[in-house]
Amino acid sequence: MLAFEPKLGALLEELHTRSRSQDGLLADYYRKRAKRGVDLSVFDADTERFMSDKLVALDVDKAEFCYHVCRALGAKRIVEAGTSFGVSTLYLAAAVRDNGHAPGDGLVIGTEHEPDKALAARSHFERAGLAPYIDLREGDLRETLAHIDAPIDFMLMDIWTPMVLPAIERVAPCLRRGAVVIADNTTTFRDAYDEYFHFIANPANGLRTQTLPFDGGLEFTVKEG
Ligand SMILES: C[S@@+](CC[C@H](N)C(=O)[O-])C[C@H]1O[C@@H](n2cnc3c(N)ncnc32)[C@H](O)[C@@H]1O
């Protein structure tokens, strides 16, 4: 793992461990659904209920990659679709801080619609001393991301797939030239990401993309124009 300061490093270790401890439950859930013949690319109300208290944190290597991309970009303003308990948010806020931006001027806008998860995330931000760099917008991203000030340097898309299109539609107009959007699991859930790929393929949106070979696929999309 990246060598962060001890307080942040210990918290990340604790949260990644907690998230990984739920992997077996997730695997069981999907195994049972597959047995019932349910299309696993469909994210329905039952899955939403099952996931409502799970961390489902971004994998360590992907989160570290996001940190490094944000450092390379000198990222100041970031949007994250899908905060959960705040694991990826901590990496993004650390990048903004380490880029030397003042809190508030440098900002990660996160969004989470489960109140208990948002509460837990806020306490993690405080514990890490990164709260001043984070604007956690609680509620449905179709509302919470309706108003964003440009320019945005980086976006992390780590959200249930039915929300991917609403999220990119709201944030894309704010992306600056050279901004990067990272989206998780685009190979595993390629069908569910179909509308996202259509959005990227539309020349009017000025985006180009490549799927990176992380586990499940990690989409690396750049704003060109
Ligand atoms: C994969 S998890 C995010 C994990 C997080 N990025 C991390 O690394 O810890 C996706 C999160 O998006 C939240 N979510 C799903 N639909 C949402 C919506 N419409 N608005 C806001 N948050 C939503 C879920 O509750 C879930 O916590």
pLDDT at position 43 is 86
Q: If you measure from the C-alpha of residue 110 to the centroid of ligand 1, how many angstroms do you get, rounded to a whole number?
A: 9
The CB of 117 under 6 Å from ligand 1? The reply is yes
Tell me the mean pLDDT in the region 13-28. Answer: 96
Examine residue 117 and state whether it is found in any structural domain, yes or no. Answer: yes
DSSP-derived letter for residue 103 is: B
Identify the weakest region by mean pLDDT among 14-23, 27-36, 180-189, 190-199: 27-36
| Top mutation candidate among 20, 56, 108, 134 for ligand 1, by most atoms within 8 Å of CB | 56
Between these two residues, 123 and 41, which has the higher pLDDT value? 123
Q: How far away, in angstroms, is 118 Cα from ligand 1 center?
A: 10
In a domain, 137, yes or no: yes
Greatest extent of the chain over all pairs of C-alpha atoms, in Å:
52
Which of 67, 108, 112, 171 to probe ligand 1 with, by most ligand atoms within 8 A of CB?
Answer: 112
DSSP string, 134-188: EEEEES-HHHHTS--PSPEEEEEE-S-GGGHHHHHHHHGGGEEEEEEEEEE-TTT
Asked, for residue 153, whether it belongs to a domain, the answer is: yes
Helix (H, G, I), strand (E, B) or coil at 5: coil
d(C-alpha 107, C-alpha 79), whole Å: 8
Burial class (CB in 10 A: 0-12, 13-18, 19+), 106: buried
pTM greater than 0.95 (yes/no): yes
Average pLDDT, rounded, for the chain = 96
Residue 110 lies in a domain: yes
Q: Whose CA is nearest to atom 6 of ligand 1?
A: 83
- Share of residues in the chain with pLDDT > 70 (%): 100
* Structural domain boundaries enclosing 208: 60-223
Answer yes or no: is 217 within a domain. yes
Single-letter code of the amino acid located at 62: K
**Nearest CA owner, ligand 1 atom 13:** 82
Question: For the chain, where are the E strands, in sequence order?
Answer: 77-81, 107-112, 134-138, 152-157, 175-184, 207-212, 218-223
Q: Is the Cβ atom of 110 under 6 angstroms away from ligand 1?
A: no
- When pLDDT is cut at 50, 70 and 90, the band that residue 191 belongs to is very high
Give the rounded percent of residues in the chain with a pLDDT score beyond 90.
94
Report if residue 33 sits inside a domain.
Answer: no
- C-beta of 112 in contact with ligand 1 (< 6 A): yes
Domains identified in the chain, total number: 1
Ligand 1 centroid from CA 127, angstroms:
21
Is the pLDDT at 42 greater than 90? The verdict is no
Element (H or E) spanning 11, and its range?
Answer: helix 6-20
Ligand 1 pocket check for 87: Cβ under 6 Å: yes
84 C-alpha to center of ligand 1: Å?
5
pLDDT in tens, 102-115: 999 999 999 999 99
Q: Is the distance from the beta carbon of residue 15 to the nearest atom of ligand 1 less than 6 Å?
A: no
Domain presence at residue 10: no
Phi then psi for residue 185, to 5 deg, are: 60, 40
CATH of the domain at 100: 3.40.50.150
The whole-number average pLDDT for the span 186-211 is 97
Distance (Å, whole) CA 221 – CA 225: 13
Q: Is residue 182 part of a domain?
A: yes
Contacts of 60 (CB under 8 A, 6+ apart): 1, 16
